[in-house]
Amino acid sequence: MWRNIWARGSGYDRGYILAFIPQRVPTICQNKGMAHNPVLYNLLCDRIRQSPHQRLPFADFMDLVLYHPQAGYYTAKGSGLGPGGDFVTSAHLGQDFGELLAVQLVNLWQLLGYPTPFDVVELGAGQGLVAADGLAYLAQHYPACYQAIVYTIIEKSPVLRAVQRQNLGTWGDRVTWVSLEELADDSLTGCVFSNELVDALPVHQVVLTAAGLQEVYVTLGAGEPAPLQEEVGELSTLRLADYFDFVGIDLADPQYGEGYRTEVHLAALDWMKTIAAKLHRGYVITIDYGYPASRYYSRGRSQGTLQCYYQHAHHNDPYSHIGHQDITAHVNFTALERQGQQCGLKTVGVTQQGMFLMALGLGDRLNALAAIQETDPVTVQRAIQQRDCLHQLISPMGLGNFMVLVQGKALPDSAPLPQGLTVPPLI
């Protein structure tokens, strides 16, 4: 999710963005008054005390505070989506993002030979805005594709599922909700996509010490209530060390000194393996902020990318506002590509969101707005607002710098590039 007054990995001012975001749906309210969610804090303390050595790997801590079924940040409160919450996404900037993704879906349907049914699976659908905007656009402009689509949402949060059902009421007969486990392997012909999902998957944290690569654990300090604190120890799994070989990073290189700290994305690898297994033929599109491994594990990024987001403010303390704040890390796109390749997915292409959306027609929308001759103040103001939102979607200092990874399965070698990966026209 694109959160806070700064876009991750950029210096883009989110305060400007919030001034232009249309008020699309009611924001899910959260209890912002407590430092911690007391139920979640007590669950966490119990889990730590019952664990070997009375500590949890950071990944287990992150998984618990974000995804605990009754008290997690995403699952219990539905997260702080929207201008009044903790973060916004591209879908909150208007209908254009969902409509342009719909253009890409039509193109993929054509490239696959117009299959019926055409499976579209959205992973982590937020408030359902992309689905609502995309389906409305398809029904109006591409009715044949609309009729072929079977739209499925994978959503862990019961609160967000309820919001999605409300916002997708018009399309209730076109959308189903299932768990990822309920999808049969080798069953999908179409497209599986996510927008700002992988950044919120739990990550392990590791640090280079005089004793070698060690893992960051969360434990309890002395006092009542017991404060959360960190300690380092031996790796909880050998997969953590193997991961760096997998993505082509040599931590023995002198550029990585003692104290170098970063993240390992084992959950993202498992996620990609599962997605690849579900797909029979088609495409996987992953949109998120992140880097290739060579940039992710640069010398200058010596403390990793982990950030926390609370009421549109960011900080680096994951142990505050437990249950009320988001915790994320940038995505290692090299890991997703290589894991996909090992699981039968071919990398079709990688681009930036700005280029992707321009290739799908965002420039034409800007040109159409520039050609408006209306003098009515309300019409002019709406055009200005939409123009500003379109620019934000492609800004290289913000959302436009997000990465778009397109992978394919069972595609002919001669298959044309998807439209979003083609060179966009100049405007």
pLDDT tens-digit series, residues 176-203: 999 999 999 999 999 999 999 999 999 9
pLDDT at 173: 85
The 10 Å Cβ neighbour count of residue 317 is 11
Residue extents of the structural domains in the chain:
2-418
**Confidence at 218, pLDDT banded by 50, 70, 90:** very high
**Confidence at 35, pLDDT banded by 50, 70, 90:** confident
pLDDT in tens, 102-117: 999 999 999 999 999 9
Rounded to whole angstroms, the Cα distance separating 427 from 238 reads 51
pLDDT in tens, 342-368: 999 999 999 999 999 999 999 999 999
Which of these ranges, 2-6, 60-64, 152-156, 401-405, has the smallest mean pLDDT? 2-6
DSSP structure string for 159-184: HHHHHHHHHTGGGTTTEEEE-GGGSP
pLDDT in tens, 376-390: 788 888 888 999 999
Sign of the C-alpha dihedral, residues 388, 394, 396, 400? positive
User: What contacts 24+ positions apart, CB below 8 Å, involve 226-234?
Assistant: 226/45, 227/319, 228/44, 228/319, 228/322, 229/319, 230/58, 231/55, 232/207, 233/53, 233/55
For 191-202, the three-class secondary structure string (H helix, E strand, C coil) is: EEEEECCHHHCC
- Mean pLDDT, rounded, of the chain: 89
Pick the CATH number of 2-418 from 3.30.360.10, 1.10.274.100, 3.65.10.10, 3.40.50.12710: 3.40.50.12710
Sign of the C-alpha dihedral, residues 270, 273, 274, 275? positive
More confident call, 27 vs 51: 51
Please state, for a pLDDT cut of 90, what percent of the chain lies above it. Answer: 76
Confirm if 79 and 321 have CB atoms less than 8 A apart. Answer: no
Report whether pLDDT(86) > 60: no
Report whether pLDDT(6) > 50: no
The token duo for 44 is 């966490």
Gyration radius (Cα) of the chain, Å: 22
Report whether pLDDT(131) > 80: yes
Which whole number is the average pLDDT over 153-158?
93
Which whole number is the average pLDDT over 201-214?
97
pLDDT at 77: 64
Report whether pLDDT(16) > 70: no
Report whether pLDDT(69) > 80: yes
Report whether pLDDT(255) > 60: yes
How far, CA to CA in Å, does 228 sit from each of 110, 127, 221, 292, 304?
Answer: 53, 32, 6, 32, 20
Rounded to whole angstroms, the Cα distance separating 84 from 29 reads 8
Residue 58 burial by CB count (10 A; 0-12/13-18/19+): exposed, middle or buried? Answer: buried
pLDDT at 236: 98
Rounded to whole angstroms, the Cα distance separating 296 from 89 reads 22
Rounded to whole angstroms, the Cα distance separating 194 from 286 reads 5
Report whether pLDDT(76) > 90: no
Rounded to whole angstroms, the Cα distance separating 238 from 227 reads 29
Confirm if 273 and 339 have CB atoms less than 8 A apart. Answer: yes
Report whether pLDDT(33) > 60: no
Query: Please, what is the end-to-end C-alpha distance for the chain in angstroms?
Result: 29
DSSP reduced 3-state for 149: strand
pTM comes to 0.91
